[in-house]
Amino acid sequence: MQKFLTILIVVTAILVGCKKEDTATPKTKTELITRKWQFQGARVTLGTLPITAYTRGATTGNVVDFSASYMDFKSGGGFSQVVLPGTSMTGTWKFNSTETAFTVTSSGGSVDSWTIDKLTETNLDFSRQIAANSTDPSDLSWLALIKSYGFSTAAGAKIEVQTVPAP
């Protein structure tokens, strides 16, 4: 009888000690994107020519100063950003139906759509492809900005941005 009681105590201790670990529910894409993101890098590809426009911490070689740039996605759909020094924008943001892209609409009405290349707790990387003959007002704005730095956009452009959560 004592052996049976000892075995019962040991088995009970093992069962109680081996409780199932809590499994964290994965965050939704909305939960992942809803925060303030700072720019880490930006690249523009003109035709087949890649140009590194910005790398955080680089002491030389940055075409554009994005050191103070950020994008802030609010949980209620609000949005604010600073991209170039001295420029800011507020408005709204939303995902497309498959949550593989987002659109930002400024309070002034301009619309900017981006493909999400990577979205994790630690990275939001996004891009957009712009055809040289695009008539979209947002595309024309981006092409004009690229041209203002002395680059040709005759072959179109692809803009890629890498961000991390802002401290």
Give the model confidence (pLDDT) of 28-87 as tens digits. Answer: 999 999 999 999 999 999 999 999 999 999 989 899 999 999 999 999 999 999 988 888
- Per-residue pLDDT at 9 exceeds 80: no
Q: Give the residue, 124 or 16, on which the prediction is more confident.
A: 124
Does residue 129 register a pLDDT over 50? yes
**With 70 as the cut, is the pLDDT of residue 3 above it?**
no
Structural domains for the chain:
34-165 (2.40.128)
Cα(41)–Cα(164) distance, integer angstroms: 10
| Pairwise pLDDT comparison (11 vs 113), residue with the higher score | 113
Q: What is the DSSP letter of 120?
A: S
Mean of per-residue pLDDT scores for the chain: 89
pLDDT over 90 at 10, yes or no: no
Question: In terms of pLDDT, which residue wins out, 7 or 96?
Answer: 96
pLDDT at 24: 82
State if pTM tops 0.85. Answer: no
Distance CA 34, CA 137 (A): 27
pLDDT of residue 15: 46
What band does 23 get if pLDDT is binned at 50, 70 and 90? confident
Burial class (CB in 10 A: 0-12, 13-18, 19+), 150: exposed
In tens, the pLDDT along 71-124 reads 999 999 999 999 888 889 999 999 999 999 999 999 999 999 999 999 999 999
